[in-house]
Amino acid sequence: MIAQEQINLYSWPDVRRSIFKMDEESANDLDTMCCTQFIGLNYYGNNYLGDQYKRAADIIVASKQKGVTDTYYSSPEGLFMPVAYLYRHSLELKLKGLLEQIIECDLYEDVDKVLDKHNIIKIWQKIKPILKNQWPKAYPKPLNNTEALITDFHKIDKSGQALRYPKLKNGNNVREKIPKRVTESHKIFGSGGSVRESKLIDENDLREKFPKRVSLVMLKDAFNEIYHLLDGCKAHFDAFLDYDCG
């Protein structure tokens, strides 16, 4: 007898239904049932959504680390673009959320054009001087390293669109911007070890600027470092708003 799970796996839409419909079984599945009216509650905004995009990427990477297999593919290559997109978008939202807090504290003005765009380097360049002013005697390496990691994300996706589609608007293949492997452990896409490099035909191909192997785990770990720093800054400005702006 064919298991019901297998039947559901390959079922066609032979019954009219809504993707938002819930039956009794799904309504009782607290692990997957979403009460959308409670999304974020009072915390809904860029910071909250940034956390959730990171959460989704973390779950995907953790499942592969645990050896969870999916239906069609066992290798992780196809997950790189979705996972990298989730982390990059989380980063963009966290940066925008932090900049919104800075504006709310009257520490910055006239940045609406930056908030409406997707250039994470330009957003970071607005934030970094404020952070340095808040902690003038702080060790500079964490901020500099954060900027280097943000730059890594910016190199493969300057607009927030490149990781979403197989081709860019100009018709170029998105894969031309993606590192093929990464061998240096300090890089955001690192995995350690050494790999013999092969020269690509096009000297302008952005792949030439990257090592050649990608580790989803190191991508996650590197992103977590950025995330923890930005989250710490968020807590600082939360306190600033509570006590100095209130």
Per-residue model confidence as pLDDT tens digits over 209-230 = 444 688 999 999 999 999 999 9
Q: Output 150-154 pairs: Cβ under 8 A, ≥24 positions apart.
A: 150/91, 150/95, 150/120, 150/121, 150/124, 150/226, 151/121, 152/187, 152/188, 152/189, 152/222, 153/84, 153/87, 153/88, 153/91, 153/120, 153/188, 154/119, 154/120, 154/121
Mean pLDDT computed over every residue of the chain: 78
**pLDDT tens, position by position, 89-131:** 999 999 999 999 988 888 777 666 778 789 999 999 999 999 9
Backbone angles phi, psi at 18, to 5 degrees: -105, 145
Residue with tokens 């993707």: 19
Which pLDDT score, from 0 to 100, does residue 201 have?
35
CA distance 105 to 246: 10
pLDDT higher than threshold 60 for residue 237: yes
**pLDDT tens, position by position, 43-60:** 788 999 999 999 999 999
